[in-house]
Amino acid sequence: MLEQFFDNKILFDTRIAWIGLGKLGMPCAEACVKKGFDTTGYDITSKSSNLVDIKDSIKDAVKDRDIIFVATPTPHEQGYDGREPTSDKPVKDFNYDAVKSVLKQLDKICTERQIVVLVSTVLPGTVRRELDPLYQKNKIVYNPYLIAMGTVANDMLNPEMVMIGTKNGPKGTKCGYKTEILTNFYQQLCENSPRIESGTWEDVECMKIFYNTFISSKIAFVNMIQDVAHKLGFMNVDNVTNALASSSKRITSGAYMKAGMGDGGACHPRDNIALRWLAKDLSLGYDLFETIMTSRERQAENMAKAILSHGKSVYFTSDAYKPNTNLIDGSYSLLVQHFVKKHGGTLVNGFDNPVQVIVRVHQSDQITADKDTIIFDPWRSYPKADNVVYYGA
């Protein structure tokens, strides 16, 4: 039992329960059995398995279990699965009724020593806002999977990463042991020694949902190139996408995956602006580039408002888009400054007084400020201090 984990820091003979034995839960439960874990299961509908010990009630399924995985569905309403157009429909969240029902039942029958792990997909903010209040015995763990239908068991056993979310992250005094227990469980279960990504509930909710939508964005982008090839002629979409796919310096790499100031320079903004004309000229029927530029501008405005929440007198460490230069073509710093002025801020140089907020434009920018001046760091890499604000953290 888990008592020995706390005493000896080893995990052994962990007993597992799976609540929800659908397209996700059943293959995962059976994979646990094949790896030697004592595994029970329960589903609201009748299920059968030659491997999993399926019980007639949630109470029987979770009795004496160490880790309880909840894999009940979080469906969208009918007509929201993508098989028909949705862009003209009202936006809607997932339906969490099944998950809520299970958590309410578990709250009545589980002990504080049992670890309840939610696998179902939810939108960012859902666990803290809607699900955590329903399970008061202990704080649940959010542990979604990156799986594809048809290869569920293999994807579980060979994941790209294992995501473990707790209330305050792995360093939380009341949650850290759960991350350690789940990490040990997956080290025994998985076949590929996956990396472990841990954080707060919100961190992991975002890891899961943005992983999927990153793929959707990537597919939409390459299919846009396909539309351009069809409309423009004299080009083969595969020649273009193969060239991009082989570009591992910036495109298929970790480059540009550090959030901070937006892009700038003599190429990036202006190319997107010009491609808006091409999208219209070729009658694509949509304009990804307009969306990119609108997002860029709204992100700059959001940053400006965040800056102004700390003071109206603002100094930017640089106007340039590239550090250690005076190049201002497409400068994101100047775009943010535009919105600072629009929303009532005053731009000052380094010699004007008072300066209430210093914005760190580049990660290499060195700053000298007294303790009463706010250092606003969109890169979250300046040494932490009482007067340093990390944007996005």
Which domain range does residue 100 map to?
A: 2-200
Question: Are 72 and 194 found together in one domain?
Answer: yes
Give the Cα separation of 178 and 204 in Å (integer): 15
* Of 200, 220, 252, the domain-final residue: 200
DSSP 338-392: HHHHHTT-EE--TTSS---EEE--STT------TTSEEEETTS-SPP-TTEEETT
Tally of domains within the chain: 2
Question: Are 32 and 169 found together in one domain?
Answer: yes
Give the Cα separation of 106 and 124 in Å (integer): 23
User: Does a structural domain hold residue 385?
Assistant: yes
- Residue range 159-207, pLDDT digits in tens: 999 999 999 998 765 677 899 999 999 999 999 999 999 999 999 999 9
Question: Are 191 and 299 found together in one domain?
Answer: no
User: Does a structural domain hold residue 262?
Assistant: no
CATH number of domain containing 106 = 3.40.50.720
Question: Are 22 and 168 found together in one domain?
Answer: yes
User: Does a structural domain hold residue 243?
Assistant: no
What does DSSP say about strands 53-54 and 195-200: parallel, antiparallel, or unpaired? unpaired
Question: Are 179 and 301 found together in one domain?
Answer: no
pTM reported for the whole predicted model: 0.88
Question: Are 28 and 147 found together in one domain?
Answer: yes
Question: Are 182 and 34 found together in one domain?
Answer: yes
3-state secondary structure of 208: helix
Give the Cα separation of 266 and 56 in Å (integer): 66
- Residue range 315-355, pLDDT digits in tens: 999 999 999 999 999 999 999 999 999 999 999 987 667 89
* Of 181, 200, 219, the domain-final residue: 200
* Of 200, 233, 265, the domain-final residue: 200
What number of other Cβ atoms are within 10 A of residue 4's Cβ? Answer: 12
Question: Are 7 and 113 found together in one domain?
Answer: yes
User: Does a structural domain hold residue 289?
Assistant: no
Least confident range of 31-45, 138-152, 307-321, 345-359: 345-359
DSSP H helical segments within the chain, as ranges? 2-8, 25-34, 58-62, 97-109, 126, 152-157, 176-189, 201-232, 237-245, 268-281, 288-308, 332-342
User: Does a structural domain hold residue 314?
Assistant: yes
- Residue range 373-391, pLDDT digits in tens: 999 999 999 999 999 999 9
Question: Are 41 and 167 found together in one domain?
Answer: yes
User: Does a structural domain hold residue 84?
Assistant: yes
User: Does a structural domain hold residue 216?
Assistant: no
Q: Which amino acid is at 67?
A: I
Beta bridge partners of 358: 315, 375
Asked whether 345 and 304 are in contact (CB, 8 A), the reply is: yes
User: Does a structural domain hold residue 98?
Assistant: yes
Residue with tokens 């540009």, as numbered in its chain:
256
Amino acid 172: pLDDT: 65
